[in-house]
Structure 1
């Protein structure tokens, strides 16, 4: 499947009164790609989503979604976009199923897809519960199911697995991989760097409204692997962390020859460690 540019951002900035929220951001997202927009709370992630979905105007620069300038996003574009944010509204006095049935009608989606999605996000057994009776995690799953009803070409996810238990988060991840394979472009914001490493093809690290680094998670970890070392575990359960050196190579070769080596792992930094190195600040 040939990939096309779905989101194109050139030098966008956003200022609220005297506060600069975004500073000359430029990036692009392709179809069939999960793009991670990563940074701590307050770094500008949600502001960027609001600009890209036409909810907020940028102060300068240009941005387009599915070839349409964000200032001119219309109903035709919205029909091809899914959005999951903390404030994604639900009808609280309607059941889980009725919420999706209503949106399925609006989006002209077959009702059969409702049960399929409810099963995928673990809500099928709760389909007759009122939305206001759901826990935070269940509400998040319902919002995700609603965003996926019409199989959008672009999916904006703002902290999509926040509040979810590990098994449900894993099921959501599997669903996102399926969407990616079908050609959906996924714009993911999170401060969970482990999740981003698992999911994302490319990431941009955001700090105080500025992109400080970008690339694939693996490429960034290797780029900032300044002190190369290896973690070794032997059959007798001894463990070693060895530097990248001739002496280490000789020791590893000997352990392999003696069939004593159980595991060997390189110690390149995680995305979170890269972020800390670049910014000197944490992710919460």
Structure 2
């Protein structure tokens, strides 16, 4: 669905590249996470894929269309939800969606259905300039679904949302993906990426450092540990054991064999911890 080969982009038209020799593929029906700190090149790459930035160097195809010569029919195939909402403030929520529907040459979804899906029912006749940041974000998210896209570009889809609404947004993404929608997710939020993505790419300073599934990354880079709480001399003690180091494994066997175990939990590294370990960079 998406193919990127040797992509470069410079905002100053010199060798100071915001994106440098980036290559990856996104399969049909996949949720692909593009992860990195601010300024890493995430938005630059997404803007090239969606035609908002001109391709300078490299080969890029989206939904079978060559980005070098953009065919307007491509925009019928893709949906875009931006981190910064770009709504018409003097229009109501429903008017914004109704206007956007007219831009497509394919069957579109009902505006009120989308408003209900993102929890804005009762707000459809309010001008969006009166919306909170979170409400604007939800409407922008709803708008990105209006043309039933085959490829869905999501830039920080849960930013600025309270946990309950963010959970609903993640559920919507899962449901659309089950229908076969391919998702390209750009974020610095490793938790949403871990929950939703089939594969993730780590990008830092415009270069991809690693691409793999969250599970494979945890197995390859995460410390294999187990937390054990047990009773000794009438007291509850807690220890962490490595399941790789032989000395720790033998101590764990002795503890299990000679003490009453209260709790035992395996620990796996978070995607954020692995990102820092692999790239040497934080997410700020």
Deviation of 1:280 after TM superposition, in Å, equals 2.3
| Alpha-carbon separation, structure 2, partners of 1:128 and 1:237 | 59
Q: 1:178 aligns with which of 171, 175, 178?
A: 175
Change over 3 Å in CA distance of 1:91–1:232 after alignment to 2: same
- Does residue 11 in structure 1 map to residue 11 in structure 2? no
Q: Deviations over 1:177-210 (max 9, x none)?
A: 0111111111000000111101100000000000
Whether the 8 Å CA contact 1:233–1:264 is kept in 2: the answer is: no
Deviation of 1:263 after TM superposition, in Å, equals 3.5
Change over 3 Å in CA distance of 1:163–1:237 after alignment to 2: farther
- Does residue 281 in structure 1 map to residue 281 in structure 2? yes
Task: Quote the residue 1:262 is aligned against.
Answer: 263
| Alpha-carbon separation, structure 1, partners of 2:255 and 2:128 | 58
| Alpha-carbon separation, structure 2, partners of 1:199 and 1:237 | 37
Q: 2:253 aligns with which of 234, 250, 253?
A: 250
Number of aligned residue pairs: give it: 274
Query: Greater shift after overlay, 133-142 or 53-62?
Result: 53-62
- Does residue 78 in structure 1 map to residue 78 in structure 2? no
| Alpha-carbon separation, structure 2, partners of 1:128 and 1:243 | 58
Q: Deviations over 1:32-71 (max 9, x none)?
A: 1110000000000000011101121233210100111112
| Alpha-carbon separation, structure 1, partners of 2:123 and 2:3 | 39
Whether the 8 Å CA contact 1:53–1:73 is kept in 2: the answer is: no
Query: What RMSD over aligned residues (CA atoms) do the two structures have, in Å?
Result: 2.0
Deviation of 1:248 after TM superposition, in Å, equals 3.9
Deviation of 1:97 after TM superposition, in Å, equals 1.2
Deviation of 1:78 after TM superposition, in Å, equals 0.1
Query: Greater shift after overlay, 154-163 or 68-77?
Result: 68-77
Q: 1:168 aligns with which of 165, 168, 173?
A: 165
Task: Quote the residue 2:34 is aligned against.
Answer: 37
Aligned ranges 1:1-284 → 2 under 5 Å = 6-17=1-12, 18=14, 19-87=16-84, 89-107=86-104, 109=107, 113-225=110-222, 227-234=223-230, 238-244=237-243, 245-251=248-254, 253-254=256-257, 260-266=261-267, 268-284=268-284
Point out 4+ residue stretches in structure 1 off by more than 6 angstroms: none
| Alpha-carbon separation, structure 1, partners of 2:257 and 2:48 | 58
Please give the secondary structure, in 2, of the residue aligned with 1:20: coil
Structure 1: gaps of 5 or more residues: 1-5
Whether the 8 Å CA contact 2:55–2:68 is kept in 1: the answer is: no
Q: Deviations over 1:212-251 (max 9, x none)?
A: 11100111121113x4321224588643211223324414
TM-score between the two structures when normalised by the length of structure 1? 0.89
